[in-house]
Amino acid sequence: MKWFNFIGSMALLVMAVATLTSAQTTVPQNPALSEGRSLIQKKEYGKAIQRLSAGLKDSPADLELQTELGKAYLYNRQDEQAMKTFNQVLAIDPDNKVANLELARALGYHRNYEASNRHYRRLLALDPGDEPASAGLVRNLIHQKKYSAARSELSPALKAHPESQRLQQLQKRIESHGATTEEGRRYTSRIQLSESFFSDSGGNRSFRSTQFAELSLTQHISTQLRGEEKRLWRATLPTSQTTWGTDEIKLRPTSYLGFGAGGGLVRFPDGSTRSLYRGAIEMRPRRTIFVTAGFGRASFAPTVQAAQLNLTSEGWLAHAEGAPGAWRFNADWSHQHFTDSNRSTREDAEILRWIGGRKFAVAAGYQYDHAHFSSTLNHGYFSPDRYNSNLGITGIRFRAMKHWSAEYLARVGGEEIDTVPWQTAFQVSVRNRFTYEAWEFDADYSYYHIAQSSGPFTAHLPRVILIRRF
């Protein structure tokens, strides 16, 4: 009987503990916390700060409430207050995951990478599979140009999270930022030689040889040297050769802003010369997006007939390009005055989306081109009063071997010239890239069934490029 009473008492004790535990786990969430989170989700950060601050007056020891307040400060761009709040949380709970992660992000925004890295590494010490911490640490190392360390951190993170989109994007950033040695050193300079041959259905032919050198002088100053010889001919006209060269100095005081200025000379077929120049401002709002705008004078010789007129173009130009994630885009605008009194305005844009991985991907996109000339002249170049084209883009890219990658694209659609109705237009381009250490060799070919600057509507353009980085 005594044993029966003892067992009964123990059962009652267990039931009481379970009831007490259940009561504790069903305690309703702090109203200030739930309301603050709701306001943050609605992006009403100012109201969230007021509600969470009021809640902290009633519950000053609530670390979850204090952490949420730090997030509200951060989203409201009150970074200093946010970092102060997270540090207060970490002074009590050094292993707090949310506070460490958000503080690391805030420090990274302010380019205090070493302090940010310490918090990311603390999180990884607690949990080596922490994907947000791995991504943040790799991103910081890329900003610090520590590419070898970034790859070392990225490799185990990708093994643990092979489907992570942000880790895959960081891998692409490391690969596309510039060729590197096996030790991780980034190449900052290059020499490039290219040869191309152009032929169209109108009998125009040209052989173009280009030499280009980009040299990094200091961390913020670089120079670009470019020279070109263009030999043009046609059955009924004598062969002509136009040669030009320029040197441009680029100053980049910050990673977001740069300036470029340069000049050179062009030598026409008759032996006369004329000066060339260019000035531009360059902006990089994000690492993967580049925008430039400027004014300058350039050589213009699409055909042998145009070359004999000693033409140059002068005016405003703007360009934007980017490769955020799987997207790729570029756009150009120009307003040019030609020395034969003609004027042109042109806009073109292309956007492309890659679907797939590094080994194989499929592309879908769109290309638009518009041009307007003040005069339709028979001066050896395409100068309609109005021109429009709209082309859809599809294609593939793949990496068949370690040192060979390829990109094959087709653009198909229509074009409109002055009052002529829309007609079919298309373009096919094949690009092959071979790389070995600091060397790169490109073998490209394009076929055009679309209006060319030389006037005709079909053309072939094979080209080879040799690049040496150092």
Instruction: Give per-residue pLDDT as tens, 308-354.
Output: 999 999 999 999 999 888 899 999 999 999 999 999 999 999 999 99
- For 139-186, how does the pLDDT look when each residue is reduced to its tens digit (9 = 90+)? 988 888 888 888 888 888 888 888 888 888 888 777 765 444 333 445
Cα distance between residue 438 and residue 179, in whole Å: 7
Nearest to 117 by CA among 128, 126, 105, 129: 105
Cα distance between residue 134 and residue 154, in whole Å: 7
Domain boundaries, the chain: 32-176, 190-469
Q: Fold identical between 32-176 and 190-469? A: no
Choices 2.40.160.10, 2.40.30.40, 3.40.50.2300, 2.170.150.20: CATH for 190-469: 2.40.160.10
pLDDT of residue 64: 86
Cα distance between residue 260 and residue 251, in whole Å: 6
Q: Do residues 33 and 51 lie in contact, with contact meaning Cβ atoms separated by under 8 Å?
A: no
Homologous superfamily of the 32-176 domain (CATH)? Tetratricopeptide repeat domain (1.25.40.10)
DSSP state of 30: P
Q: What is the pTM of this model?
A: 0.63
pLDDT of residue 4: 42
Nearest to 158 by CA among 183, 127, 190, 134: 134
Q: Which amino acid does the sequence have at 210?
A: T
Q: Do residues 401 and 323 lie in contact, with contact meaning Cβ atoms separated by under 8 Å?
A: no
Question: Quick one: tokens of 151?
Answer: 């790859």
The residues facing 441 across adjacent strands are 434, 466
- The alpha carbon torsion through 302, 303, 307, 312 (nearest 10 deg) reads -20
pLDDT of residue 181: 39
Query: Which ranges of the chain have pLDDT less than 70?
Result: 1-29, 176-187
Cα distance between residue 441 and residue 431, in whole Å: 11
Cα distance between residue 125 and residue 286, in whole Å: 31
pLDDT of residue 29: 62
pLDDT of residue 59: 83
Nearest to 466 by CA among 449, 445, 442: 442
pLDDT of residue 182: 37
